[in-house]
Structure 1
Amino acid sequence: MPKAQLVAAELPQAPLTVAAVSVRLGISPSTLRTWERRYGIGNEERQSGTRRRYLPDDFARLAHMVELIHAGVPTAEAAAIVRGETPVKTRENTRELPVPSHCDDILAAAQGGRAETLIRLLENAIATHGLVYTWTHLLEPALESIRASTEGEKPGYAPSALLTLAVLQVLTEISDQRPTTSTDQEKTVGILILTDEEHSLAAHVMGVALQWREHPTAIMSTGNHGGTEVCDRIATYIQNHDVRIAVVTGRGTACEKLVTTLIHDHSTDVILVGADTPPILNPKVLRVRTIAAAVEETLARI
């Protein structure tokens, strides 16, 4: 999980603007506004219609919140702690969990049905190793091990589903904390990730990783749903958004048809992800084997 660096540790003596607080704490102005709107963490004395000015106490609360988030506390819970609604010692116990070094650590928590422990382990791993590394070396092997089991699942326990939900919850927290700029626009999407159901979770990992580099990203299923074909949905989407690169996961003739449509109908650069993607020879198509390579190549092309 990306970590900001505090530029100044001492408390300011005079009120600060949004821009000044942003620089000191290493978080974007839009994140500050979101925290004020969503969690009530900001200038407590500001009246509607007036400019934001952060007093020393306001800055101290924000600095405390940033420190908690960097320690692995989810944003909503960090806000609750800063507001005095959650005892800090409750979170101290969870932070004593080790940083997982092997997929077996993740696997044990998932198979034991320990959702809270699983989430904390994922947060610790991402904070230490980064999102893409954690997916490649811990999460994906753990999921493969669960799915390959010959023992079946105990009724009421679904380790793969539990792990998927835990990953999505952590991804949501990371996505909420992503840096944003004044150029972000809801209707401008530079990257479109197209994924089959099997690779859906990996697609979300890629999407969050790309968003953290300030590249707006959307994810779309390659299945035919609701009586509509994926090529028709893509055509409609591209009409309304600036799609520069399409990242595609999948295999077989359906994947090949999709890539051909992207190239010839939309002149979109395509990055194919996976060891068994169709061998399409075209200068607009790049084939990579891993999620990490897909993220790096997408960033390089942009």
Structure 2
Amino acid sequence: MTRQRAARRSGPPSSDRDAAAEAALTTGALARRLGVAQTTLRTWERRYGIGPSRREQGRHRRWSPEDVARMEHMCRLTAQGVTPAEAAQLAMADSGRPTAAPSQPGPRRRTPGGFRDLPLGQVWPESRGLARAAVRLDASAVQIQLRSAIDAYGVVVAWEQIIAPTLHAVGRKWATADESYVEVEHLLSWHVSSMLRSAVAPAMDGRPPILLACMPEEQHSLPIEALWAALTERGLPTRIFGAAVPAEALESAARRTGPGAVVLWSQSRETADLRVVRRLLALEWGVRGARSHPLALLAGPGWAGTPPEPGAGRLTGLASGLALLESLFRTGT
């Protein structure tokens, strides 16, 4: 009897705890399951206190089955029209967790008043036109603005001078104005992605392609889609695999295609995993005596805090990255 009480006090066996830890989801996996962006989950945690119940020092955040059920409940409520703040409180109350006051209390959600509310700063007139259409949720006008910008200036200039500044302004406004610009950000991002993907990929011509992929936990793919569109515009052989590419799938694609370079995008430090890069750099293909290894190029702000990795280069922007990749094809490297 004494041993039974001791067992109850000591908690579940270590094997049970290990199984529970194994069942926990990363933020990227939870975002895919819920169909929301990772940034949305982080915003909800920061504002409403609804996040993973446990954190382990030195490891990425993990969401237990109870955490997942709570977030699914919150998503169901928001889909029914409940505000995120109220949905978070209800979801936490129903799960028995104490509710947390929003970190930035303020007035209830409002509809965006106009594009002048966006922190655009000094931008091109086309960026202001795109922002105006996005805030009105005028999908047709957004498409026209994007098509006109790319046709007039090309992908690189359109992205750096018109599209990216507008996306950043909408994102900053969303982060500081409760949830009143979420729909603007989603509509604009969707149409930007659709426009970039509308480029026609060049036919396979025997040259080693450039592989573009997001890191395994990375959902933010718009910048690498812009790089794909720019490379395609110049007729360079490119393969893009989009968001959250599993490491094993990336390695398989590299072995099958023998790429001239592999670009790995990471938006945040949480997704910048050098172990994936090292596994990729260790690959080789070709006949004995003439083995080839991939050239890995790391792109995105997530890599800023990581140490240099031997054999891996860095891309610091769309224009400079495109120039580097074009030079690789000119030299045949």
Task: Give the structure-2-normalised TM-score.
Answer: 0.51
Compared CA separation, residues 113 and 153, structure 1 to 2 (3 A): farther
Partner of 1:273: 299
Compared CA separation, residues 114 and 209, structure 1 to 2 (3 A): same
Q: Of the candidates 290, 312, 326, which is equivalent to residue 285 of structure 1? A: 312
User: Larger radius of gyration, structure 1 or 2?
Assistant: 2
Partner of 1:151: 177
Q: CA-to-partner distance for each residue in 1:226-280, whole Å, 9 max, x for gaps?
A: xxxx221112222322312001111547431222122123421122223451232
CA distance in 2, matches of 1:158, 1:142: 14
Partner of 1:297: 324
Structure 1: runs of 5 or more not aligned: 1-99, 225-229
Matched, 1:264 2:285: no
Matched, 1:211 2:232: yes
Q: CA-to-partner distance for each residue in 1:274-293, whole Å, 9 max, x for gaps?
A: 345123242x3221211221
Matched, 1:139 2:166: no
2:255 aligns to what SS in structure 1?
A: helix
Q: CA-to-partner distance for each residue in 1:35-62, whole Å, 9 max, x for gaps?
A: xxxxxxxxxxxxxxxxxxxxxxxxxxxx
Counterparts of residues 172-251 of structure 1 (less than 5 Å):
172-173=197-198, 175-176=199-200, 180=202, 184=205, 190-196=209-215, 197-221=218-242, 223=244, 230-250=246-266
Alignment check: 8 A CA contact 1:275 1:288 kept: no
2:156 aligns to what SS in structure 1?
A: helix
Task: Give the structure-1-normalised TM-score.
Answer: 0.56
Alignment check: 8 A CA contact 1:195 1:221 kept: yes
Q: CA-to-partner distance for each residue in 1:118-171, whole Å, 9 max, x for gaps?
A: 11111111122211111112211211111111223449x711111122112322
CA distance in 1, matches of 2:319, 2:192: 17
CA distance in 1, matches of 2:252, 2:309: 26
**Residue identity in the other structure for 2:299:** V
Q: Of the candidates 155, 160, 184, which is equivalent to residue 185 of structure 2? A: 160
Partner of 2:147: 123
2:263 aligns to what SS in structure 1?
A: strand
1:280 aligns to what SS in structure 2?
A: coil
1:287 aligns to what SS in structure 2?
A: strand
Structure 2: runs of 5 or more not aligned: 1-123, 285-292
Q: Of the candidates 101, 109, 122, which is equivalent to residue 125 of structure 2? A: 101
Alignment check: 8 A CA contact 2:298 2:312 kept: yes
Alignment check: 8 A CA contact 1:256 1:280 kept: no
* Residue 107 (structure 1) shift: 1.5
Compared CA separation, residues 165 and 222, structure 1 to 2 (3 A): closer
* Residue 198 (structure 1) shift: 4.8
Alignment check: 8 A CA contact 1:271 1:298 kept: no
* Residue 213 (structure 1) shift: 2.1
Higher relative contact order (CA 8 A, sep 6+): 1
1:208 aligns to what SS in structure 2?
A: helix
Alignment check: 8 A CA contact 1:132 1:292 kept: yes
Identical amino acids, percent of aligned pairs: 21
Compared CA separation, residues 127 and 111, structure 1 to 2 (3 A): same
Alignment check: 8 A CA contact 2:126 2:145 kept: no
Alignment check: 8 A CA contact 1:195 1:219 kept: no
